[in-house]
Amino acid sequence: MGENDAPASDTDAASQSDVKNSKKGGSRATLFIYLAMGLGNIGFVANMTSMVLYFYFVMHFDLLASATTTTNYLGSVFMLTLVGGFISDTYMNRLNTFLCFAVLELLGYVLMIIQSHYKKLQPEPCTNESRCVKGGEALMLYTSMCLLAIGAGGVRGSAPALGADQFDRKNPTERKYLARFFNWLLLSVTIGATIGVTIVVWVSMNKGWDKGFLIGMLCAFAGFIVIASGKPFYRIRVPGDSALSSIFQVLVVMVKNRNEKLRDNTNELYEIQDKESGLSDEVQIPHTEQFRLLDKAAILRIGVKPKKWGVCTVTQVEEVKILTRMTPIIISTVIMNTCLAQMQTVSVQQGTIMNTYIGSFEVPSASIPVIPLVFMSILIPIYEFAFVPLIRKVTGHPNGITHLQRVGVGLVLSVISMGIAGVVEVKRKHELLNNGHRISVFWLGIQYAIFGIADMFTLVGLMDFFYTEAPAGMRSLSTSFSLLSLSFGYFLSSIFVQVTNSVTGKITKSKRGWLEGRDMNKNHVELFYWFLAVLSVLNFLNYLYWAKWYNYKKDDQVMKPEKSLRGISDQSEEIPSTIDETVAMIQ
């Protein structure tokens, strides 16, 4: 990855007006972010894969409670990325947001270390209860989990946008590096995750959970120092008006103007940059014909003085239109992340009753996710240096394939992964129940490997898509949307597990739910996997519709502000998504 410290061009002065130290940044600045996120991910991903076992063996939750508590925790982490994104867009710059939330994450680690070290702070085993932890023990556990979730969420909500801010996407020299940034960010967190699910998980399960949490805390602290050390090299975006406030303002004014007639001539819509109005000094976005109802927010009623919450600019309305267009894309990736949740809970629990030995060495079942991480570590450079240049020659697209095509490929691979997961579970039960043989835990590696490749396509595609398409003042918030999909996926997993048990417990002859009880050999995990595979197929068809419907934003749709009621083109020309090529690639 080459060095790039080129200053922003004069033609892009408007887009750089909200950035301090615009001559800084470039690839050198992002090295600090790659290293910090890689270090932070060592403990975070170790917790993602092994916490279900911590709840089961140390906190004495049953299997179902262990799985749902884990998915609820992870869902909260990724939901809270919105908080980090919102704060870094509005109140603090992205660097300071990262540092503040990192401190909360470190405090959470401290409490986890203390509770996992002292037996008197842990609950005694109990019977006929899904959770044995109560009183002060429960308070300490859930306080530490809350601090970890808030801290990790805030860090992950601000770091990707901080890194992407180091490149001016309007400068052709720098734009090509921005396209690579999210790939290299994924590689850095993948390497950190690989260390976490091998070394840290092994230490936790063999040397003590307190030692595992201690390693995670030290790595997170090292990441804190690294990213703070890069301050002299960063471009720092100055926080602006609240992105969410701007969204609410458009909706409120639209309701106020609900009885106003839409103008046929869009030149009459309000677009002004006036300090008295209190509106943002962001670059302007041309009018589009889509979602015309929202245009009512830009109607300046006769006799009404322009002011905040009284009228919105066309740019404000178009920002809401952009987010509205992106919403179906977010929703279409939730099912995939529900499948991911099973890999980090049910599959890990499967591994505990499989053959976990390589010779005389016992491999922790929570370390099996290292297989897709190794695949990703190898494939990301291949994708960047071989696949993208080759496909670019065919498609002419600078990234080889579009963001949405990349997401679509990942969704298809997730279907295949779930199908194979069901087959592996059938084999595991057959060999154990009929032959008394435990198959190797590495059979789980097949589904993990395929899903890891799917994640490589989808997660990076989403983050790049949201950052590129979002309005300038909402980029932290928008990159959090890709993680919001993860959050919904984890919460939906908890719901699916509960509902599946309830429904199947009533309709099956045995009156036993597919995931009920502690004995997985009596459960029907394979049917649950295949149920998710069928849902994933239907979800992919839904995604194709919305991806084909989506119109990409043009980079040159930026106009300099004018202090006037200004003419807006009736119909902006946009680049249509070519998601049809996804189907062709799959075939």
All structural domains of the chain: 10-240+332-552 (1.20.1250.20), 243-320+556-586 (no CATH)
494's tokens: 């908890």
Is the separation of the CB atoms in 526 and 433 below 8 Å?
no
90's tokens: 């509005």
At 530 the pLDDT is 95
At 553 the pLDDT is 66
Query: What element of type H or E holds 357?
Result: strand 357-358
239's tokens: 């926080």
Is the separation of the CB atoms in 334 and 546 below 8 Å?
no
Does this model's pTM top 0.85? My answer is: no
Q: What is the 3-state secondary structure (H, E, C) of 518-544?
A: CCHHHCCHHHHHHHHHHHHHHHHHHHH
Q: Is 250 exposed, middle or buried (0-12, 13-18, 19+ CB in 10 A)?
A: buried
Phi-psi region of 321 (alpha: psi -120 to 50; beta: other; left: phi over 0): alpha
542's tokens: 């839904």
Query: What element of type H or E holds 237?
Result: strand 236-237
Is the separation of the CB atoms in 250 and 316 below 8 Å?
yes
Is the separation of the CB atoms in 549 and 580 below 8 Å?
no
- Whole-number Cα distances in Å, 99 to 151, 238, 329, 514: 9, 16, 31, 44
Query: What element of type H or E holds 20?
Result: strand 19-20
Beta bridge partners of 357: 362
pLDDT tens, position by position, for the chain (587 residues)? 333 333 333 323 333 445 555 567 788 899 999 999 999 999 998 988 888 889 988 998 877 788 888 889 988 998 888 888 788 877 888 899 999 999 999 999 999 999 999 999 999 888 767 678 889 999 999 999 999 999 999 998 888 888 888 887 677 666 667 767 877 888 898 899 889 989 999 999 889 999 999 999 999 999 999 999 999 999 888 776 666 778 888 999 999 888 888 877 777 788 765 444 444 444 677 888 888 899 998 888 777 778 888 888 888 898 888 888 888 988 999 999 999 888 878 888 788 889 988 888 888 877 877 877 787 778 778 877 888 788 888 888 777 788 889 899 999 999 999 999 999 999 999 999 898 899 998 898 899 889 988 988 887 788 778 877 877 666 656 666 767 788 898 899 888 888 888 898 888 777 777 877 667 888 888 999 999 999 999 999 999 999 988 877 655 444 343 333 333 333 333 333 333 433 333 33
DSSP 277: G
78's tokens: 């990724």
Neighbouring residues of 487: CB distance < 8 A, sequence distance ≥ 6: 74, 75, 76, 77, 78, 79, 81
355's tokens: 């053959």
At 31 the pLDDT is 93
At 200 the pLDDT is 94
462's tokens: 């989403």
Q: Is 68 exposed, middle or buried (0-12, 13-18, 19+ CB in 10 A)?
A: buried
DSSP 264: S
Closest residue by Cα to residue 447 from 344, 309, 540: 344
In angstroms, rounded to a whole number, what is the distance separating the alpha carbons of residues 527 and 388?
A: 38
Cβ neighbours around 310 below 10 Å, total: 17
Half-sphere exposure of 425 (CA within 13 A, CB side): 27
Phi, psi dihedrals of residue 378, rounded to the nearest 5° = -80, -40
In angstroms, rounded to a whole number, what is the distance separating the alpha carbons of residues 201 and 121?
A: 22
Half-sphere exposure of 261 (CA within 13 A, CB side): 3
Is the separation of the CB atoms in 158 and 83 below 8 Å?
no
Helix, strand, coil content of the chain in percent (nearest 5): 70, 5, 30
